[in-house]
Structure 1
């Protein structure tokens, strides 16, 4: 089982959204990490066959997905950032409708819907209209519809948007179990979504894949660049203007403990720290920290 992304490019007039991306995905959870606007959604839409690339192609087990057509859709699951639904549909109605589109029999769909609603904690509101659901509950409905046909390839675009921390943990556990013999690609800018469950990660910036590897390998890109120090709270503003801050903790004695990124020690008495995925992300995408 192999999904090959072969030199894929998407050009919009004067902007190149995806630029010569090549990846070979094998079973397991793959993280596609990048800031908003990096080209992740465009890449996923091409993998899903919704958009045609300007050049390059996507192959599943050596065959282009355009050639596979329905056979590819039968083994494919997709959760876009926004999914459409009829306002009058209940959760149950919507999932039965999607199951029919995916070719499941009535008996298969009812059984599968029951299992998935329990897994995403929606079985007690199955008859509630989707239009009346909270953002997090709508996202869980989207996750359920993507899993309906037990796809061999599952692509999820910002899947945990709107989910609370407990729901995110359940979702990560569900994906880890599901990805045992399937290809799962998660696009996100939320590092914790993939840090502990991804078999491999790809980092995307300005339409290009700039690095791939396991989490332990990738974080070495910022080895020796992560520091912690205690400072007087009155010094915090000055240092925030000079160096990227990862975390700021208020101590009981009035001091502030900071975790920061720099090529060399900036704050006297700083201690070198083991790098994490969040450190790497903020090193590569410093503008994200400013937005947050």
Structure 2
């Protein structure tokens, strides 16, 4: 059975595909499949046919027809209208699949009451047409591993620093991640080169910060929102190297080889969401 929730700061509305449960029963839903595309073509005199010049993925429209059981109202109509009036997240649960999409309700129309039910139609528009995981994935890039085991014999290595990882994206579309970097050098050692470079070897892309991180400092590279900040500085975009581009640093579908290149001691991890073409196929 499918369960759908629309939620924001004003509350949530729970809808179900059938059976006992919420007062909002889904009768029909469209817009959960592959997103619609727009194609542009060029034609040339004396040349048969046409040439594809560009493809654009359009915003997603999700339309639901529901019955609202007034005998067991979990929320009032005025409360529901308040929730639907603000942007939110539509979450879909069906079997083992759990997908979410950020959207806004652009239309909520209901007919006159029939017996104990209202019939209503809701339309949601998602500017980003891809569904994503309900929770972000967290993958460590750079860390210190404890290698001390007992009993041990000298000479012994107490720890080692790992600065690379293999990250797997299970979604069909590329993902723009958020990167967190933490200063882990209590002596604040100064090197000839204090820069930090995060590399995605698979995508042949990198982001380089020409900046000396302080002990305890937390840097956030927010690629989706094109921002770099830290707990010590409000804005750090000026430290990004001229040959680094946010638009090229994406996580591709499949395996991604991520590496951190730096002389300084740091801990770093990536947060990302898988992007899916559809919700329930």
TM-score (norm 1): 0.26
* Bigger Cα Rg: 2
TM-score (norm 2): 0.26
Q: Which has the higher strand share?
A: 2
